[in-house]
Amino acid sequence: MEGFVTAIEGTAINEWVLGSAWVWPIMEILHFIGLSLLLGSLLIIDLRMAGFFRRINIVATHKLLPWVFVGFGINMITGILFVFGDPARYTANIGFRWKMVLVLVAGLNALWFWWKINPVMKTWEPHADTPAIAKVIAWVSLGTWFSVLLLGRLIPYIGTG
């Protein structure tokens, strides 16, 4: 990790992120907006897929997926900029490391959804209960993303573990 930190420190991106009093706070705001889009949309999608809110058409909830991707994209860009702004703090932080592991788990869970649920979901009754596999995927999604949120908030306080 030291090589990674050394390679980033002093780069134009590192100096840009740290060189302005406004870049970091603006990135924090954008990261929060991205998180709101991501988790707000997933909350509706996953809770419906978990069997709640059956008045909502299950297929209609997936019209929120573009907002999930927009939120994730904003968070990925700002997150990379955070790491480039302070690579030593992030690479050594145990909370950040666990957060990245959970983002990977959430991504694998999304692939599981894409392969197992998405192809058959359109055949489901719009307001019926969902199969057990859909519920598992939904709860894994909710659990991992809310853990990512929690760990992200704890990064300044956890340290290097």
Per-residue pLDDT at 82: 94
Residue 119 is predicted with a pLDDT of 85
Comparing 81 with 159, the larger pLDDT belongs to 81
What's the pLDDT at 43? Answer: 96
- Residue 25's pLDDT is 94
Look up the domain containing 115 and give its range.
2-158
Instruction: Report the pLDDT averaged over residues 9-19.
Output: 87
Q: Which residues of 133-152 are buried (b: 16+ CB within 10 A; e: fewer)?
A: ebeebbebbbebbebbeebb
Domain count, the chain: 1
Position 161 confidence tier, pLDDT thresholds 50, 70, 90: low
> In the prediction, which pLDDT does 2 show?
79
User: Quick one: residue 10, left, alpha or beta (phi over 0 = left, psi -120 to 50 = alpha)?
Assistant: left
pLDDT at 136 over 90: yes
For the chain, what is the mean pLDDT?
92
Please give the structure tokens belonging to residue 29.
Answer: 């705001």
User: Tell me: the pLDDT tens digits for 56-99?
Assistant: 999 899 899 999 999 999 999 999 999 999 898 898 899 999 99
